Amino acid sequence: MTQGEARTGNGTINLPELCLVALIGASSSGKTTLAHRLFRPGEVLSSDAFRLLVAGDENALDASNDAFDSLYHVARKRLARGLLTVIDATNVQPDARRRIVELAKEFDVLPVALVLDLPEELLLARHRARPDRPFAARVVSQQMGSLRRSLRKLQAEGFRQMTVLNSEDQVAAAQVTRMPLYNNLRHEHGPFDFIGDVHGCLDELRDLLTKLGYAVRDDLSVIPPEGRKAVFVGDLVDRGPDTPGVLRLVMGMVQNGTALCVPGNHDIKLVKALRGRKVSVTHGLDRSLEQLEAESPEFRQQVTDFLEGLVSHYVLDDGQVVVAHAGMKETYQGRASGRVREFALYGETTGETDEFGLPVRWNWAAEYRGAATVVYGHTPVPEPQWLNRTVDIDTGCVFGGRLTALRYPERDLVSVPARQVYAEPVRPLQRPSDPQSAQQAHDEVLDLADVTGKRLIATRLRGNITVREDQSGAALETLSRFAVDPRWLVYLPPTMSPSETSAREGYLEYPTEAFEHYRRAGVERVVCEEKHMGSRAVLVVARDAGAARARFGVEDGRVGRIYTRTGRAFFGDEAMEAEVLARLGGAFETSGLWNELNSDWAVLDAEILPWSFKADELIRRQYAAVGSAASATFPAELKALEAAVARGLPLGDLLERTQERAALTGAYVDAYRQYVRRVSSIADVRVAPFHLLASEGHVHTDQDHLWHLNSLARLAGADPDLFMATAHREVDLNDAANVTAAEDWWLALTGQGGEGMVVKPLSFVVRGRKGLVQPAIKVRGREYLRIIYGPEYTLPENLTRLRQRGLSGKRTLALREFALGLEGLERFVEGEPLRRLHECVFGVSALESEVLDPRL
């Protein structure tokens, strides 16, 4: 075999790492034996094995159709995953092979033939010795005949590579080496600077490289910042003033290993023209040819060789990023076929043309659900556009726009302006009259399939978190019916676990156990924060309506939203909400926080007081009912008992016990009453923020809690009537005096009716020996707990019973929700599509449907 021969002299067969191998050979030629030696378990799909599976007998010829259906089903699943697959069947009939070639095409993998063409006598001898092949020897001879007739046709049938083994020696010597596909640069981790369509704009290319930190001495000496590599998305040529200069610079960098380059449709057309093929000299090709005419024939040859050798797309950084000129849909990534190359060069078109005579492009990016980031150019856009993890960085430099780079993994976009308009676009560039980003426009309609069913959500803090189907159903119910506009819903806060039960007499919770918890987890410094008795709220605020539009895609003039931990609007009164947001924005302005954070939006976690503002209904129905029933019955009961005792009736300690119960109920009423205030205007409302969760470019989990509290205290400084700073103290757990002082602080706080405190590790996120550490533990005051556990919970017999509470369910839940909440914010900050962020928000809501002891 000459063409497509993959075998080298020493018996090594070079196979593409991803291909579909057809074993071809008559029965007893040794296909199964060889396949087991050359390939891994699972890679070889044998028709015999499938006959055995579906019919219980390897030789059940009547089961062949079922066997092949099953075999092809499995082959499809493997190829979809990008796994090399071998089909072990005789494959001596053209029909059988046609099916294999079609399968390879369907999955854009190379079909490869591995043929065993051994002497007929040898096969017949083997056949006679096999008890497992009960058919006549002439069947083997017939198969040999078919094989011989097939040999010369394989190439034409579409096999891109073939190896024929003619002797037992060749079979014995055969070895397989897997060759990486050209597009596989998964081992290259960057960092990269992806550069959009240059189109002969040499000055702007130099400007951009310089801005990116490359030392550009001349076109032949460009030195990247340490470790970085430029990646050109193609269309280096045409329309612009200096195509040869751009080519010289890029070719030099590629040669030096400081750049990668994929071809664009213009580059490919230029090569065709240089090769003397007939192409229409339009869209600026004339300028390239003219400019190249002034160069030496050697240079033109170098250009031809360079452009011809370009690989249509690359898969980089362990598959996390893909680059191609016009984009690359998920099922084509890392594949090699004609249509994959076409897609890389031209994108997917609908086959129609628009009013400018240009092909109407199919918006593959809108449907993209792949995990890899796809960087592409080709379609000039006024602003780089992120859509579902794809980004178009062709900002039309040659049309007077900008030349743009995407820094990866930083994901910063860096551009330089065009020095002039070098060409008029055929189709006008879409002007940024539309304030929404492509992603935001796309996110107006969400797909139910993106949030429902059993889900596995990958979080950076805690790996994969499973949400059961019933839980995600519950979340959909809550969020779709009651929640605020989903575009504001960037975060839901996690639940918080109480401390381990205290052993101290008369107490269910006490600081000692919380401190001990952290000490055991290896945390030495904690922050104790006053727990405000209010309701949890998330505040999302933008600097102005413009920022709200740009960052949240919301166009109704709102500058933010305030919502509860279930995603519902916190304020029933929209005017009040608007005022709180306006004053929050004002406090950000006055305190200088907007400027310091370099952001025009922020997400805060807060407590809003008074408690009765949100919990009014709960207080009246649950707590007040108990209180008033008690105050109605105890006075009469006590009076009767006192009279009876006066008369000398033997009541034992009934009077004392009733007096104690009456006193406890009094304490209960006192406990909840102090949190009840009427709210008639904003003057009665207080907002106590305690986490400055996120702002542009950052989820502030790298800052410790003192930073959070001190930053937020500045809001209280700016507008003390509305915002409250949270009292707190840092505690060194190794310092006994410090610990005692903190306990006393808690006793004093709760003694004055405070709800209690929250103990947090100084750092926002702590990983201990056993994984993620609880981000916060609450230690509630003795009197506050009376509201939760009932008036008489402090009676010794009740306390003994209540101490048996299990915290592990609550603790795991708290960690999972914490990880999900922060994951969602990270995704938001990274500009991921709304569905990716909502996966996390829905996840928190879904986990909240878990039934746990509500008193914890």
Q: How many residues sit in the footprint of Mg ion (CB under 5 A)? A: 1
Is residue 32 within the footprint of ligand CTP (CB under 6 A)?
yes
| Element spanning 276, H or E | none
Q: How far is the CB of 114 from Mg ion (least distance, A)?
A: 13
Q: Assign 84 to helix, strand or coil.
A: coil
Q: Residue 632 in contact with residue 639, Cβ under 8 Å?
A: no
Is residue 31 within the footprint of ligand CTP (CB under 6 A)?
yes
Residue 130 binds which of Mg ion, ligand CTP, none (CB < 5-8 A, kind-dependent): ligand CTP
How far apart CA 373 and CA 391 sit, in angstroms, is 8
Q: Assign 483 to helix, strand or coil.
A: strand
Q: How far is the CB of 156 from ligand CTP (least distance, A)?
A: 24
How far apart CA 452 and CA 843 sit, in angstroms, is 10
Q: Which is nearer to Mg ion, 23 or 365 (CB)?
A: 23
Residue 163 binds which of Mg ion, ligand CTP, none (CB < 5-8 A, kind-dependent): none
Q: How far is the CB of 32 from ligand CTP (least distance, A)?
A: 3
Which of positions 81-100 make contact with ligand CTP (CB under 6 A)?
90
Contact region with Mg ion (CB under 5 A), list: 29-37, 329-337, 357-365, 394-402: 29-37
Residue 27 binds which of ligand CTP, Mg ion, none (CB < 5-8 A, kind-dependent): ligand CTP
Contact region with ligand CTP (CB under 6 A), list: 126-134, 184-192, 371-379, 682-690: 126-134
Q: Assign 30 to helix, strand or coil.
A: coil
Contact region with Mg ion (CB under 5 A), list: 25-33, 231-239, 379-387, 400-408: 25-33
Residue 334 binds which of ligand CTP, Mg ion, none (CB < 5-8 A, kind-dependent): none
Contact region with ligand CTP (CB under 6 A), list: 22-30, 408-416, 592-600, 705-713: 22-30
Edge-to-edge strands, sheet with 698-699: 560-563, 535-542, 601-609, 686-695, 698-699
Residue 90 binds which of ligand CTP, Mg ion, none (CB < 5-8 A, kind-dependent): ligand CTP
Q: How far is the CB of 88 from ligand CTP (least distance, A)?
A: 7
How far apart CA 121 and CA 140 sit, in angstroms, is 10
Is residue 28 within the footprint of Mg ion (CB under 5 A)?
no
Contact region with ligand CTP (CB under 6 A), list: 27-35, 96-104, 482-490, 533-541: 27-35
Cβ-based neighbour number of residue 622 at 10 Å: 13
**Terminal Cα distance for the chain, rounded:** 76
Cβ-based neighbour number of residue 709 at 10 Å: 20
Q: How far is the CB of 120 from ligand CTP (least distance, A)?
A: 13
How far apart CA 783 and CA 406 sit, in angstroms, is 57
- Show the tokens assigned to 226: 């340490």
| Residue 238 DSSP class | S
Q: Which is nearer to ligand CTP, 167 or 350 (CB)?
A: 167
Q: How far is the CB of 132 from ligand CTP (least distance, A)?
A: 8
Tell whether omega for the bond before 610 is within 30 degrees of 0, i.e. cis. yes
Which of positions 30-69 make contact with Mg ion (CB under 5 A)?
32
Q: Residue 245 in contact with residue 254, Cβ under 8 Å?
A: no
Q: How many residues sit in the footprint of ligand CTP (CB under 6 A)? A: 15
Q: Residue 534 in contact with residue 562, Cβ under 8 Å?
A: no
Is residue 171 within the footprint of ligand CTP (CB under 6 A)?
yes
Q: Which is nearer to ligand CTP, 25 or 534 (CB)?
A: 25
Is residue 248 within the footprint of ligand CTP (CB under 6 A)?
no
Of 427, 380, 377, nearest to 406 by C-alpha is 377
Torsions phi, psi of 133, nearest 5? -125, 85
Cα-only R_g, the chain: 36
Q: How far is the CB of 219 from ligand CTP (least distance, A)?
A: 59
Residue 29 binds which of Mg ion, ligand CTP, none (CB < 5-8 A, kind-dependent): ligand CTP
Contact region with ligand CTP (CB under 6 A), list: 29-37, 217-225, 591-599, 639-647: 29-37
Q: Which is nearer to Mg ion, 96 or 542 (CB)?
A: 96
Q: How far is the CB of 53 from ligand CTP (least distance, A)?
A: 15
- Show the tokens assigned to 707: 């930073």
Is residue 163 within the footprint of Mg ion (CB under 5 A)?
no
Q: Which is nearer to ligand CTP, 118 or 822 (CB)?
A: 118
Contact region with Mg ion (CB under 5 A), list: 28-36, 77-85, 311-319, 477-485: 28-36
Contact region with Mg ion (CB under 5 A), list: 26-34, 78-86, 496-504, 527-535: 26-34
- Show the tokens assigned to 759: 């103990």
Q: Residue 517 in contact with residue 499, Cβ under 8 Å?
A: yes
Q: How far is the CB of 122 from ligand CTP (least distance, A)?
A: 9
Residue 28 binds which of Mg ion, ligand CTP, none (CB < 5-8 A, kind-dependent): ligand CTP
Task: Give Cβ neighbours of residue 720 (< 8 Å, ≥ 6 apart).
Answer: none
Query: Directed axis angle between helix 265-274 and helix 297-308, to 10°?
Result: 130
Q: How far is the CB of 46 from Mg ion (least distance, A)?
A: 6
Contact region with ligand CTP (CB under 6 A), list: 23-31, 211-219, 279-287, 368-376: 23-31
Q: Which is nearer to Mg ion, 32 or 695 (CB)?
A: 32
Q: Which is nearer to ligand CTP, 171 or 759 (CB)?
A: 171
Q: Residue 823 in contact with residue 840, Cβ under 8 Å?
A: yes
Residue type, 143: Q
How far apart CA 756 and CA 24 sit, in angstroms, is 77
Separation in Å, CA 197 to CA 8, 507, 793: 41, 70, 72
Of 312, 442, 444, 328, nearest to 376 by C-alpha is 328
Q: Assign 659 to helix, strand or coil.
A: helix
Which stretches within 619-729 are classed as H helix? 624-646, 654-673, 705-718
> In the Cβ-directed half-sphere of 373, how many Cα atoms lie within 13 Å?
23
Contact region with ligand CTP (CB under 6 A), list: 24-32, 246-254, 724-732, 816-824: 24-32
Is residue 126 within the footprint of ligand CTP (CB under 6 A)?
yes
Of 545, 536, 540, 695, nearest to 609 by C-alpha is 536
Is residue 48 within the footprint of ligand CTP (CB under 6 A)?
yes
Tell whether omega for the bond before 94 is within 30 degrees of 0, i.e. cis. no
Query: Which is it for the CA torsion 298, 299, 304, 310, positive or negative?
Result: positive
Is residue 51 within the footprint of ligand CTP (CB under 6 A)?
no
Q: Which is nearer to ligand CTP, 174 or 374 (CB)?
A: 174
Contact region with Mg ion (CB under 5 A), list: 27-35, 36-44, 503-511, 575-583: 27-35
Q: How far is the CB of 109 from ligand CTP (least distance, A)?
A: 23
Contact region with ligand CTP (CB under 6 A), list: 125-133, 343-351, 405-413, 631-639: 125-133
With CB under 6 A as the contact rule, the residue among 18, 27, 233, 323 that binds ligand CTP is 27
Is residue 25 within the footprint of ligand CTP (CB under 6 A)?
yes
Q: Which is nearer to Mg ion, 32 or 379 (CB)?
A: 32
How far apart CA 386 and CA 436 sit, in angstroms, is 12
Q: How far is the CB of 27 from ligand CTP (least distance, A)?
A: 3
Residue 183 binds which of ligand CTP, Mg ion, none (CB < 5-8 A, kind-dependent): none
Q: Residue 88 in contact with residue 47, Cβ under 8 Å?
A: yes
Count H helices and E strands in the chain, helices first: 30, 36
Residue type, 80: A
Q: How far is the CB of 309 from Mg ion (least distance, A)?
A: 41
Is residue 166 within the footprint of ligand CTP (CB under 6 A)?
no
β 321-324/373-376 pair status: parallel
Which residues contact ligand CTP by CB under 6 A?
Answer: 25, 27-33, 48, 90, 126, 130, 133, 168, 171
Which residues contact Mg ion by CB under 5 A?
Answer: 32
